Amino acid sequence: MPDYFIYTFTFIFGLAIGSFINVCIYRIPRGISIIIPSSRCPECNTPIKMIDNIPILSFILLKGRCRICKKPIPIRYPLVEFLNAFLYTLILYRYGLQIHTLIYFILSSSLLLITFIDLDFQIIPDRITITGIPLGLIAGSFILPDPFLRYAPLGFKASIIGFLSGGILFLSIAIISKGGMGGGDIKLMSMIGSFMGWKSVLMTTFIGSLTGAIVGIFLMLFKGKGRKTKIPFGPFLSLGALITLLFGQEILYLYLNI
């Protein structure tokens, strides 16, 4: 098949999964089934028709408002759909049309889901990380490549070490900081390590800490936040993991050359 067809299909598929991620972002923290009932407006509770549930396009046609109650639809909905489609397209470009690409689709969508739930509720649901860890260990042992050696397998040993190093590192931080790191972050890093190995744990931690520090400084300088203001760390770790997944090899080479 022509490349443009594969990329177009991947982007549309990413949009569709992004729409489902929006459902999960809203329902999982509230303890609502992600299967039933069907999608509905959170303001007036009216079921959303299929024609009004087309990713991004429906938002544009409805001018960002519910057809029935006319309440604004949060811009986050098309944003999540676009981000998920964009990530799928980038992963396809970096790793090609392979079985491990589909596994990375699942990982990237999980990280996107975790990001927005953590931003809203300051929690990382166990049903995402605890489900992701065994999947990561199995896929890392038999399917996934090493993000730093893209054509070499990650392997069972690296996946296990990644799982343990991610958990132990952040458990140690939680103990030293006396609760400054939550249990959700510990399980998140164990999940990331199981998919991507211990080297990715280190780079993810570095990038996540760096971006978190930059955002924290910005909030203190321009938003009047204090040092004790709680900022969810899950989004920064998720960003670090995605950057490592997509560009880890290049970042490592750049660092070694410097």
Model confidence over 109-140: pLDDT tens digits? 999 999 999 999 999 999 999 999 999 999 99
Over residues 31-88, the pLDDT tens digits come to 998 888 888 888 888 888 888 889 999 999 998 998 889 899 899 999 999 999 999 9
Token pair in block for residue 110: 């999980």
Concatenate the DSSP letters of all residues of 15-40 into one string. Answer: HHHHHHHHHHHHHGGGT--SSSS--B
Domain boundaries, the chain: 1-97, 99-258
Which pLDDT value is given to residue 253?
A: 87
Which pLDDT value is given to residue 19?
A: 94
Tell me which amino acid residue 93 is. Answer: Y
Query: Most confidently modeled of 169-178, 185-194, 224-233?
Result: 185-194
Mean pLDDT of the chain: 91
Res. 202 pLDDT band, cuts 50 70 90: very high
Token pair in block for residue 57: 């396009």
How far apart are alpha carbons 73 and 93 in whole angstroms? Answer: 32
Which pLDDT value is given to residue 152?
A: 85
List all residues 6 or more positions away from 121 whose beta carbon is below 8 Å from its beta carbon. 29
The yes-or-no verdict on residue 226 having pLDDT over 80 is no
Write the Ramachandran bin of 218: left for phi over 0, alpha for psi from -120 to 50, otherwise beta.
alpha
Concatenate the DSSP letters of all residues of 206-242 into one string. Answer: HHHHHHHHHHHHHHHHHS---TT----SHHHHHHHHH
Which pLDDT value is given to residue 254?
A: 87
Q: What average pLDDT does this structure show over 83-105?
A: 95
Nearest to 113 by CA among 226, 194, 210, 34: 34
Token pair in block for residue 197: 């190995």
The yes-or-no verdict on residue 200 having pLDDT over 70 is yes
For the whole model, what pTM was predicted? 0.93
Res. 227 pLDDT band, cuts 50 70 90: low
Over residues 69-83, the pLDDT tens digits come to 989 989 999 999 999
How far apart are alpha carbons 197 and 206 in whole angstroms? Answer: 15
